[in-house]
Structure 1
């Protein structure tokens, strides 16, 4: 867990489902390597939202893995995580909050929210706005990860942005459901 400088504001949410989620991701063979289908999905997500960076992110107990990634230069590099850094600690960014809350998160300007403004992606990566939705596994009830978009400028995502990110999360879960699940 990560706290702010005063030690009062919990910046990384407690994740009681982490071990169970890690086992489920392992069974589904998700979150271990980049996947072309997820990269293409991230490309489409960026196009639909107009965001420079989009991710398909699976989160286990200790880290988050960007199995799908779109960045401004198209080379899977640049703003946000780079191709060489598809993995980040759980306290990096906003997706762990989405997973813990099991609800979409809209941050038009992350600096407007003390809990989120203190996250190191603001200074280290330049993230100013975030829009993400959980990937809910209807078989187990777990939030496996997120689909999200970020921008280096504040953005008014609005209701349409929220509806879009939720719809895209549902589409991605249709792809995940199509995977062979040995526990099924």
Structure 2
């Protein structure tokens, strides 16, 4: 783990699995371009949870890529840059922004009903820059044992996700991993 020497807040964790993840993502053909099937899955995440933003997120050594993305207005950009710029949500975000890198390294789902209640997470740049107040995410661990990324939903308001939210996001992550495996095996 790394620490901010001025505030001693926990920053993005060290990700020793990143090189193997990048190789696996390349093998699968994920992480470089939007995918309509992942966009559809992100829409499903939003529908099931009632969250305004949802993502299928693949993570490499330096950035996160939202191969699947749902936003309230359906607006998003394929270019790199700030997560929110000119009313559009980018499909790229720095690795040190957000909570998905923590989920990938922990290899466990994460429920933050109000990120401001957790000093470890409240200082994350997405709180001030984007206004994220609530997060629910689960890792996408494939058949090789590699955490490819996450599925997640976020809101600009605190949300009482609770145990039902946790079980829902874990179940949806398992569903998406099955889809990824069928795709890799040549199925639909």
Provide TM-score, normalisation by structure 1.
Answer: 0.91
SS for the counterpart of 1:147 is strand
2:105 to 100, 103, 107: 100
Alignment of 1:156 onto 2:160: yes
1:53 aligned partner: 53
CA deviation string 1:48-100 (max 9, x = no partner): 000000000001111110000000112347xx657662111110100000000
Describe how 1:78-93 pairs up with structure 2 within 5 A. 85-93=90-98
Which structure 1 segments of 5+ residues have no match?
A: none
Which structure 2 segments of 5+ residues have no match?
A: 78-82
1:180 to 170, 181, 184: 184
Cα separation, 2, equivalents of 1:180 and 1:28: 7
Cα separation, 1, equivalents of 2:61 and 2:34: 19
2:115 to 104, 110, 125: 110
1:133 to 132, 138, 142: 138
Cα-Cα RMSD: 1.9
Shift of 1:120: 0.4
Shift of 1:144: 0.5
Cα separation, 2, equivalents of 1:86 and 1:180: 23
Cα separation, 1, equivalents of 2:5 and 2:123: 9
Q: Give the length in aligned residue pairs.
A: 179
SS for the counterpart of 1:65 is strand
CA contact (8 A) 1:4 1:118 kept: no
1:40 aligned partner: 40
- Runs of 4+ in structure 1 deviating by more than 6 angstroms, as ranges, are none
CA contact (8 A) 1:52 1:150 kept: yes
Provide TM-score, normalisation by structure 2.
Answer: 0.89
